[in-house]
Amino acid sequence: MFREDYVMRMIEQAMAAVTAILGLTRLDRYPEALAEVDRALQRFVGLNLSLVTALSAPELVAMLRWGERLDVGKMVVLAELLQAEGDIYAAQQRAGEAQARYMKAMELLLEVAFDTEHHLAAVQPRLAELKQRLDALAPAPEAALPPDLAEWLAHYEAVLAASPEAPAAE
């Protein structure tokens, strides 16, 4: 119970930072928005923006493990901040950089989803949102994701559909 409260509190605090970042992005204050992403990464995840950019998703996952245990709160916050960074680049018409951030965020969320069955449905809205953003950037939807990531996402969707906690179809 304490762990879930901690995770939820961290995510709520990070979402306040994301809201500020999106506000700066809407005002076309991109350097300030990126600086805010960097500050939020340092505050909530303990990593700076240049390191997060340089590392692959598997390397970031390895850094956010304590032994076998994944720090789910930090992973979700990192994914949210990567999505916000991608939104900054998308607003500047820098599709390649936006796409790279969205895909890295998607990989992190898939790691969270498969950490335990409890997380499968919890990340579904975030994954769907990232997929929409990627599809909007790509000239053809099938070109949006590299084959390995597309396969992993398809596997996630199949597992989620078979799960008893699967969200109801709309």
pLDDT digits (tens, 9 = 90+) for 60-103: 999 999 888 888 889 999 999 999 999 999 999 999 999 999 99
Residue 121 in this model has a pLDDT that exceeds 90 = no
Continuous segment of H or E residues that includes residue 69: strand 69-70
Alpha carbon distance 33, 29 (integer Å)? 6
Residue 170 in this model has a pLDDT that exceeds 50 = no
The answer to whether residue 86 is domain-embedded is yes
pLDDT tens per residue across span 145-162? 889 999 999 999 999 898
Ramachandran sector of residue 28 (left: φ over 0; alpha: ψ -120 to 50; beta: rest): left
The answer to whether residue 144 is domain-embedded is yes
What is the count of structural domains for the chain? 1
* Residue 122 banded pLDDT, cuts 50, 70, 90: confident
The answer to whether residue 170 is domain-embedded is no
Structure confidence at residue 2 (pLDDT): 47
Structure confidence at residue 92 (pLDDT): 96
pTM of the model as a whole = 0.88
The answer to whether residue 26 is domain-embedded is yes
The answer to whether residue 167 is domain-embedded is no
The answer to whether residue 64 is domain-embedded is yes
Structure confidence at residue 12 (pLDDT): 82
Q: Residue 140's domain spans which residues?
A: 2-162
CA dihedral 89, 92, 95, 101 (to 10 degrees): 0
The answer to whether residue 169 is domain-embedded is no
The answer to whether residue 168 is domain-embedded is no
